[in-house]
Chain A
């Protein structure tokens, strides 16, 4: 057996049909055929297809089927049907037309009885109306039939056989493959699985939800008032009309009397008093501005916008100063009408009678009405926020005095651009270095006190940096010219100071040889060249006060002293591995602290209080702990090329200037990104400097200007530094795209000195 599952399902019905009408099977089939004209062909094929199944199922069935066929044939013969083609739809139609579909049988009384052909609602039948064989046993519990092979009787009194209970496999299959409309229930009347169609299910659902069961159902049909409004021709009661229907009601009379009294008293007006209806019907105008009285300004009180009184320019003959010039006329005409300041142009006429009619009259009236009509009735409270109030509150520069404001002294004398400048620790002297190869020392009033040519006058090596030793007891200036680092004691101070300075400079000569020899032996036999050679400069320079020289491997660009004055670091950006060198003055010893630096070193500086060391490469600043010899911090200013930096004397803040025109303030406690970025200069920033005592810092730019900032750092960690630009100092000329090369602050006063490419130094106070 290899039956498909649908065929099995059908089988049940087929079985039922077969079992239920043993005898009238043929007739039923025929009836169906007779009613189904269109699908007869399909029917045929279907029945043909089913036959083998049926055969396979039961031999019994087969036999019965044959019997049926025989019956049908015999029936046909009985009916006198000439041809045996009962399965031809066309013929069937003809048969229907001719023959009545009943037989006349004799009943028990011998009378005629019309016996209609049985309609057998088998599976193939499309007679949807026909129910299956209805059990007619009535309201008897089905259990009464438990001991019988049938479960009741149909309308014809034939036994309805108990359906064969499916085998276990069938039940399983049924349970797996749920047919459409399967409910899992058994119809108690038929004992078969109760299948519900989609419509039935929906109906159930609707009932469950207390909804209207079907669309055609009207839950609120019109009430037909049979007993009230419809006067029956034949009334239900024949009783005569009661008396009360003809006697006036005393109660109503009482009520009416009451009403009459009320009307008499005037409590009730019997009719509406005549209204002045004419006025109501007319259009009503509201003058909201009427009864205008001067009131206090209030949100709900808005005076009518008043027309401005006519001015002189509205006169037909205005004074000449009110008449527009040709240009003004042009400009007026070119403007959009909405943008015009006045809607009219003053024009002049000799006499009033020459004034033409006012062409814009209607338009103007209309607009006036529009103005009045559209004028807002309620004052709108707009959130008036002054955009300036949203800006952070910065103190005004005037409150941040003192800071330098004007140029007070111009120092002239250098014959080439001045590269560097430095205030002496006591603030009385200014040292400068220039491209002409000289180092000069100036008094603050602009007088040059001392000068020395560090390299040959013909091919001068630019003096890239001068820095004073930060000590008031000595008077030592370090100057970098080319690869040489010179230590100078300018002879302009007291002999005691000068002697102290000389002693400090000469102290290392004993060590120099020792240090050099030890350094040479360190690298297993290979002669290692020390990073710097310390020596006396030429005797002419010694006579001038240039007492000591250290030569490193490449051009020094930056010098910075340690606060104690024993160490100083030099940076030579082109120096590859030995770009940053730390020199010990007391031992004439030079050391290279870094094997390798990522990027070109630009500048380096000692921390003002702690043993930290800052090294700036082109993009990063690294902070090293010199004692523990470790990297503490990497600061990323975000600049493309750092030109200079300075550490705040408090030690927690850092300013960085960059060639890409940025000035960056870093709070070392906060982050490695800048706390503030400032771009005020159109050209590169060359130098930045903090004031050592006052909350000031400055930068110098190639655009020839210095910018002075107030930068207050508070010890309170919760409060950020206040940075206010207070002054832009201009005065240096820009030469060959170079403006101000260096700046330095007076150690105490708010004075700043700048070195310019225009061969001058300027003191600003």
Chain B
């Protein structure tokens, strides 16, 4: 072995507290042709970490994952074999394995999860929270699913007291309450009750919130303050209260009953309480595609629009604080709590990470390239601060690691560029090529939860669940 290959001196470092090596063992001479698996075995051995069960590890050399042997890495980077190589080891990533699919009658436009680790579940505190998935479909129905793939509850249809047209988004306000909004310009707040056995439940409309003039594209909720944010095609961001008591009366002009169309009469048949917005903030010239709360500060929100801008809103004054202008229409946005960034998916097939802080030198911190169609949904990883998942019309969800970056060529518009770590295709398309233009398999919505994993819904009328933990090294 000595004759065939040289030895390379490596220094192991890590950020993972439970896997730190003793100071004395950090430096090691390893054969130059060793690969990730060999290095992982060495680290897991008794002399090194002495783990009870082997922890698969990945190695970052100078910011990139080591995929070849050390020798080849050195050669490709033009380094001498004499150099001491610093390897940062992280827990290895397991691919997001497919777990289940829930069939729908129509396109699934929105999904949200409820679990003990989800935002709504965390609010519930110590109370045991069932694991549920809420899905919003183009047939105007909200469905609640249990992990075994059974629809526990379905909302009332248009004839009753539900949505008359397609729903674009649904969110859990709390384990017993949901909010949904769609093309019929209203936000429905639902009360969700579940039988004790957990196999049946009911969705009762609690409240209708009227105020938008056009299609509501997305909603976001803040469970602690019970506020709802909506983004609508009429260029306004709506701020609503989720409780009947605090919600103001609706402006009668905005109610469907103001216009004596047949449809209005139909939709007005129910006796659900109708409320208006706390604030209706006209911010954009074009459709607002996303309005999200700041993950830590409930008085700050971000809105993204097709007019290429992402704006920071102060919800107390309902004023625009700052704006970030990008090059492309933005179709979705999410806040990355750890990195203080806003990830915005654009129609130009990439995700821009925007730094909304006013002090930021560059607005676009990074560009994530890899999708081949419009990016319509992004969700931050619940476990760490540096990864996210995006859903796109190209029928895939892609998982990104913000630590693995390279400098972009001028053709790509400079800055840092990252490429996807995992690409999750639709399960039924497995082994096939991506359909052209995402035909029939567009992903419309994706969420990432620690318990549930990556849950995505799309044009294929399915909610697909992929394992989502341990995908990326901590």
Interface residues of A (CB under 8 A from B): 398, 402, 406-410, 412, 426-428, 445-447, 449, 491-499, 502, 731, 748-749, 751, 762-763, 765
Residues of B within 8 A of A428 (CB): 214-215, 233, 287
Beyond the given A410-B436, A428-B287, please list 4 additional residue pairs across the A-B interface where CB-CB is below 8 A: A398-B411, A494-B214, A496-B253, A496-B259
Q: Can you sample 13 A-B contacts with CB below 8 Å?
A: A407-B436, A408-B438, A409-B442, A445-B444, A446-B439, A447-B107, A447-B166, A449-B166, A491-B263, A748-B286, A749-B347, A763-B437, A765-B374
Q: Kindly supply a per-residue 1/0 record for chain B positions 277-301, scoring 1 wherever the CB is within 8 Å of any chain A CB and 0 otherwise.
A: 0000000001100000000000000
A499 to B257, CA, bound (A): 12
- B4 sits at the interface (CB 8 A): no
User: What residues of A have a CB within 8 angstroms of the CB of B440 in the complex?
Assistant: 412
Closest to B235 in A: A426
Across the interface, B347 reaches (CB within 8 A) one of A407, A447, A765, namely A765
Residues of A within 8 A of B259 (CB): 495-496, 498-499
Query: With an 8 A cutoff between CB atoms, is B401 at the interface?
Result: no
Asked whether A731 lies within 8 Å of B256 as measured between CB atoms, the reply is no
How far in angstroms is the closest Cβ of chain B from A97? 126
Chain A residues positioned under 8 Å from B261 (CB to CB): 491, 495, 498-499, 502
Q: A406: which B residues are within 8 A, CB to CB? A: 349, 372-373, 437
* Chain A residues in 8 Å Cβ range of B449: none
Tally of B interface residues using CB under 8 Å: 41
**Could you say which residues of chain B place their CB within 8 Å of the CB of A765?**
347-348, 374
For residue B459, CB closer than 8 A to chain A, the reply is yes
Number of A-B contacts (CB under 8 A): 84
Contact of B138 among A402, A447, A494, A495 (CB under 8 A): A447
Q: Which of A407, A447, A492 has the most CB of B within 10 A?
A: A447
Judge if B43 is at the interface, Cβ distance under 8 Å: no
What is the CA–CA distance of A428 and B168 in the complex, to the nearest angstrom?
14
Q: Which residues of chain B come closer than 8 Å to A502, judged between CB atoms? A: 261
Contact status A749-B306, CB under 8 Å = yes
User: With A445-B393, A446-B459, A498-B259 known to touch, is A408 a contact of B444 (CB < 8 Å)?
Assistant: no
CB distance from A66 to the nearest CB of B (A): 131
Q: Do A494 and B185 have beta carbons less than 8 Å apart?
A: yes
Q: Which chain B residues border A402 with CB–CB below 8 Å?
A: 327-328, 348
The smallest beta-carbon distance between B334 and chain A, in angstroms, is 19
Contacts of B348 in A (CB 8 A): 402, 765
Bound-complex Cα distance A446 to B372 (A): 16
Q: How long is the Cα–Cα vector from A765 to B372 in the complex, in angstroms?
A: 11
**B151-193 residues at the A interface, CB under 8 angstroms:** 165-166, 183, 185
Pick from A412, A493, A762: contact of B214, CB below 8 A: A493
When chains A and B are docked, how far (Å) is the Cα of A498 from the Cα of B258?
12
Chain A residues with CB under 8 A of B256: 495
B183 CB contact (under 8 Å) in A409, A426, A492, A495: A492
Structural contact, A494 and B213, CB atoms closer than 8 A: yes
Q: Which chain B residues lie closer than 8 Å to A493 at the CB level? A: 214
What is the CA–CA distance of A445 and B459 in the complex, to the nearest angstrom?
Answer: 9
Complex-state Cα separation, A495 to B263, whole angstroms: 8
User: Could you tell me the distance between the alpha carbons of A406 and B350 in the complex, rounded to whole angstroms?
Assistant: 14
CB distance from B269 to the nearest CB of A (A): 14
Q: Give chain A residues whose Cβ lies under 8 Å from the Cβ of B439.
A: 410, 412, 446
Q: B329 at the A/B interface (Cβ < 8 Å)? A: yes
Chain B residues closer than 8 Å to A426, beta-carbon distance: 214, 233
Q: How far is the CB of A492 from chain B (nearest CB, A)?
A: 7
Q: Which 3 A-B pairs have the closest CB atoms?
A: A495-B259, A499-B259, A407-B437
Quote the shortest CB–CB distance from B411 to chain A (angstroms): 7
Minimal beta-carbon separation of B270 from chain A (angstroms) = 16
Q: With A407-B437, A491-B263, A749-B306 as known contacts, state yes or no: A496 contacts B213, CB within 8 Å.
A: yes
- Kindly report which residue of chain A lies nearest to residue B264, judged by CB atoms: A495
Give residues 294-334 of B contacting A (CB, 8 Å).
306, 327-329
Q: Which A residue's beta carbon lies closest to that of B436?
A: A407
- Which residues on the B side are within 8 Å of A407 (C-beta)? 436-437
Q: A494 contacts which chain B residues (CB < 8 A)?
A: 185, 213-214
Alpha-carbon gap, A17 to B162, bound state (A): 153
Q: In the complex, which residues of chain A have a beta carbon less than 8 angstroms from the beta carbon of B166?
A: 447, 449
In the bound assembly, the distance between CA atoms of A762 and B258 in angstroms comes to 38
Interface string of B430-466 (1 = CB under 8 A from A): 0000001111101010000000000000010000000
Closest to A731 in B: B436
Most buried by A among B260, B261, B459: B261
Q: Can you name the residue of chain B whose Cβ is closest to the Cβ of A493? A: B214
Q: How far, in angstroms, from A494 to B215 measured CA to CA in the complex?
A: 8
In the complex, which residues of chain A have a beta carbon less than 8 angstroms from the beta carbon of B373?
406, 408
A408 and B233 contact, Cβ closer than 8 Å, known pairs A496-B213, A748-B286 = no
* Docked pose: A640 CA to B215 CA in angstroms: 46
Decide: A748 and B306 in contact? CB cutoff 8 A.
yes
Interchain CA distance A751-B259 in the complex, whole Å: 34
| CB of A399, distance to nearest CB on chain B (Å) | 11
- How far apart sit A431 and B258, CA to CA, in the bound complex (Å)? 28
1/0 per residue, CB under 8 A from A, across B69-90: the answer is 0000000000000000000000
Give the distance in Å from the alpha carbon of A426 to the alpha carbon of B215 in the complex: 12
Q: In the complex, what distance in Å separates the CA atom of A408 from the CA atom of B439?
A: 9
Expressed in whole angstroms, the minimum distance between the Cβ of A387 and any Cβ of chain B is 27
A56 → B minimal CB distance (Å): 121
Expressed in whole angstroms, the minimum distance between the Cβ of B209 and any Cβ of chain A is 15
Measured CB to CB, the nearest residue on chain B to A762 is B437
A503 to chain B, nearest CB (A): 10
Q: Beta-carbon contacts of B201-236 to A below 8 Å, as 1s and 0s?
A: 000000000000111000000000000000001000
CB distance from A196 to the nearest CB of B (A): 99
- Give bound CA distance, A354 to B347, whole Å: 73
> Bound state CA distance, A502 and B233, in angstroms?
22
Cβ of B214: which chain A residues have Cβ within 8 Å of it?
A: 426, 428, 493-494
Q: In the complex, A309 Cα to B253 Cα: how many Å?
A: 93
Give Cα A495 to B165, complex, Å: 13
B442 touches A445 (CB 8 A): yes
A731 and B436 CA atoms in complex are apart in Å by 9
Q: How close is A181's CB to chain B, nearest CB, in angstroms?
A: 100
Which chain B positions have C-beta within 8 A of A445?
A: 376, 393, 442, 444, 459
Q: Which residues of B from 245 to 285 have beta carbons under 8 Å from A? A: 253, 256, 258-261, 263-264
Q: Do the beta carbons of B393 and A409 come within 8 Å of each other?
A: yes
CB distance from A761 to the nearest CB of B (A): 11
Which chain A residue has the least Cβ–Cβ distance from B183? A492
A409, B393: Cα distance in complex, Å: 8
Q: How far is the CA of A765 from the CA of B107 in the complex (A)?
A: 22
Contact of B393 among A398, A408, A412, A449 (CB under 8 A): A408
Contact: B263 with A408, CB < 8 Å? Answer: no
Give the CA-CA distance A27 to B440 in the complex, in Å: 143
A492 to B182, CA, bound (A): 11
Q: Using Cβ atoms and an 8 Å threshold, which residues of chain B touch A495? A: 256, 258-259, 261, 263-264
Complex-state Cα separation, A614 to B385, whole angstroms: 60
Distance of A261 Cα from B261 Cα, bound (Å): 142
CB neighbours (8 Å) of B411 from chain A are: 398
Chain A residue contacts of B138, Cβ below 8 A:
447
Return A575 CB to nearest CB of chain B, in Å.
36
Of residues 18 through 53 on chain B, the ones whose CB sits less than 8 Å from some CB of chain A are none
A756 to chain B, nearest CB (A): 13
In the bound assembly, the distance between CA atoms of A750 and B374 in angstroms comes to 13
Residues of A within 8 A of B107 (CB): 447
Residues of A within 8 A of B183 (CB): 449, 492
In whole angstroms, how far apart are the Cα atoms of A433 and B305 in the complex?
30
Q: A428-B233, A445-B444, A499-B261 are in contact. Are A408 and B328 (CB under 8 A)?
A: no
Q: Give complex CA distance A495, B348 in Å.
A: 33
Chain A residues contacting B436 (CB-CB under 8 Å) are 407, 410, 731
Q: Which of B253, B329, B349 contacts A749 (CB 8 A)?
A: B329
CA distance A426 to B437 in the complex (A): 23
B185 contact set on A, CB distance < 8 A: 494
A496 vs B286: C-alpha distance when bound (angstroms): 19
* A446 to B306 alpha-carbon distance, docked (Å): 18
* Cβ–Cβ contact A446 & B263, under 8 A: no
